[in-house]
Amino acid sequence: MGKLVQKYIDIAKEKNPHEPEFLQTVEEVLTSIEPVLEKHPEYIKAGLIERLIEPERGVMFRVPWVDDKGVVQVNRGYRFQFSSALGPYKGGIRFAPNVYPGILKFLGFEQIFKNSLTGLPIGGGKGGADFDPNGKSDAEIMRFCQSFVTELYRHIGPDTDVPAGDLGVGGREIGYMMGQYKRLANRYDGTWTGKGTSNGGLAGRNEATGFGIVFYAREMLKFFGEEMEGKTVALSGFGNVTWGTATKLTELGAKVITISGPDGYIHDPDGITGKKIDYLVELRNSGKNICAPYAKKFKSAKFFAGKKPWEVKADLYIPCATQNEIQMADAKTMVKNKAKFLCEGSNMPTTNEAIAYLQEHGVKIGPSKAANAGGVACSCLEMSQNAEHIMFTKEDVYRQLEGIMVNIFQLSVDACKRYNLGDNLIAGANIAGFERVAEAMMLQGIV
């Protein structure tokens, strides 16, 4: 790593000493874009990187609510509005007990480049709360969402900041938050995405992230001379992204053999198809956050308690659960099992040292910023649908989504070519994403 980038990484470390996830992504992105900075000294002079690694704004607020027993609970809510260089801040809301600024800043920072790769006019942001939705009643979820938005509403708007879902926040939560926003702001507008279709939501948004991942993975396999049909695929997670990914993979003739939850993973060599995929939705809605019952229901499957699916031999690995789910030990097992392809579905699922090890051993990696950008791309379609007061059809959405994903892959390959990076798709995506943001920032002056 050159001295140039080290300087910025040191600044980030000094300013954010207790936020390892944020520092991890800053290091990954800055290391990749070093050749661009060497070519553009004007970016350095304009303090572009110092500005980029500092969120434009961050709010932290109290979220008081009353549980079903009448006990007052207090959580912490946040929104990090990272970059508005390309458009209104755009990114999800995460509800999970481990949410703190380091996680949201990592997600917000990644979102800038992901959103840039889509080619659409959206900036980057992320928000959330240290609230655990597991085991909460529907009424508790509604009261929490309403209290969260009672503060958040003043910071967001269709041309300012447009939140969506993320872990722990799905259609139900977006509905409650959008309802409370509408009541407080007295506006029925495109401030939220991931809404139900009867609330102005986009047809096909639910499956967009998963479908997009598979379109990206298909392009990646094609690039390396292989095809999707007949591939065995190990997935993690059992939420929305896993469900969409499994559905599309099956449609394209691949066989999904694993899913996972915090309790362990399921290996189903017969393939997770049809009714079994529908069952994922049932599991998710159970609010229990476990996948063990799957093995009881489907006899072809085996449950491995406390383990991760990366120990299973597969042609393609697609993590869809959460950050850092592939660590060094997992990478070593994957290499031992002769892994060839890893396509990242969840945000930053692989640690930097695991990435380096996998790459050294010839594993081709499709980075999450590029591969999972289909979700937010369709969110932007939802924003335009709301702004135009029209409704797109599912067919419209699928067609646009596929085009966007193919384009993202091409942009990454093109950046690899321009900077002699071989087939390093991680660096290619980081560079292509960065270039657009940097150009926009240069036009806007020092802001």
Looking at the annotation, which residues are catalytic?
126
For residues 399 and 358, what is the distance between their CA atoms, to the nearest angstrom? Answer: 33
Applying CB under 6 A, the span of 87-95, 227-235, 270-278, 401-409 interacting with ligand GLU comes to 87-95
Question: Closer CB to ligand GLU, residue 238 or residue 304?
Answer: 238
- For ligand GLU, the binding residue among 55, 77, 88, 92 (CB under 6 A) is 92
Residue 90 as a binder of ligand GLU (CB under 6 A): the answer is yes
User: What would the x/- binding string for ligand GLU be over residues 182 to 221, using CB under 6 A?
Assistant: -----------x----------------------------
Tell me how far, at minimum, the Cβ of 92 lies from ligand GLU, in Å.
Answer: 3
Question: Closer CB to ligand GLU, residue 118 or residue 247?
Answer: 118
Question: Closer CB to ligand GLU, residue 309 or residue 349?
Answer: 349
For residues 315 and 347, what is the distance between their CA atoms, to the nearest angstrom? Answer: 21
Applying CB under 6 A, the span of 1-9, 85-93, 216-224, 417-425 interacting with ligand GLU comes to 85-93
Number of amino acids touching ligand GLU (CB under 6 A): 10
DSSP 245-298: HHHHHHHTT-EEEEEEETTEEEE-TT---HHHHHHHHHHHHTTS---THHHHH-
Tell me how far, at minimum, the Cβ of 325 lies from ligand GLU, in Å.
Answer: 15
Question: Closer CB to ligand GLU, residue 126 or residue 231?
Answer: 126
- For ligand GLU, the binding residue among 21, 28, 34, 166 (CB under 6 A) is 166
Residues 6+ apart with CB under 8 A from 366: 216, 217, 220, 341, 342, 343, 344, 425
Tell me how far, at minimum, the Cβ of 77 lies from ligand GLU, in Å.
Answer: 16
β pairing state of 72-83 and 57-66: antiparallel
Q: Which of 167, 176, 175 is nearest to 91 (CA)?
A: 167
- For ligand GLU, the binding residue among 12, 23, 103, 164 (CB under 6 A) is 164
Tell me how far, at minimum, the Cβ of 115 lies from ligand GLU, in Å.
Answer: 8
What would the two tokens of residue 343 be?
């396509």
DSSP 185-227: H---STT--S--GGGTPPTTHHHHHHHHHHHHHHHHHHHTT--
Question: Closer CB to ligand GLU, residue 309 or residue 374?
Answer: 374
Q: How far is CA 363 from the centre of its chain?
A: 22
What are the backbone angles phi and psi of residue 351, rounded to the nearest 5°?
-70, 160
Question: Closer CB to ligand GLU, residue 301 or residue 376?
Answer: 376
Residue 70 CB: number of other CB atoms within 10 A? 6
Residue 435 as a binder of ligand GLU (CB under 6 A): the answer is no
Q: Of 361-400, which residues contact ligand GLU (CB under 6 A)?
A: 375-376, 379
For residues 217 and 197, what is the distance between their CA atoms, to the nearest angstrom? Answer: 28
DSSP 92-121: EEEE-TT--HHHHHHHHHHHHHHHHHTTSS
Question: Closer CB to ligand GLU, residue 150 or residue 347?
Answer: 347
Tell me how far, at minimum, the Cβ of 308 lies from ligand GLU, in Å.
Answer: 21
Residues 6+ apart with CB under 8 A from 260: 235, 236, 237, 238, 266, 291, 308, 309, 321
- For ligand GLU, the binding residue among 91, 108, 127, 309 (CB under 6 A) is 91
What are the backbone angles phi and psi of residue 65, rounded to the nearest 5°?
-155, 165
User: What would the x/- binding string for ligand GLU be over residues 134 to 163, using CB under 6 A?
Assistant: ------------------------------
10 Å CB burial of residue 328 (0-12, 13-18, 19+) is middle
Tell me how far, at minimum, the Cβ of 307 lies from ligand GLU, in Å.
Answer: 26
Q: Of 313-352, which residues contact ligand GLU (CB under 6 A)?
A: 347
Residue 118 as a binder of ligand GLU (CB under 6 A): the answer is no
Residues forming contacts to ligand GLU in the complex (CB under 6 A) are 90-92, 164, 166, 193, 347, 375-376, 379
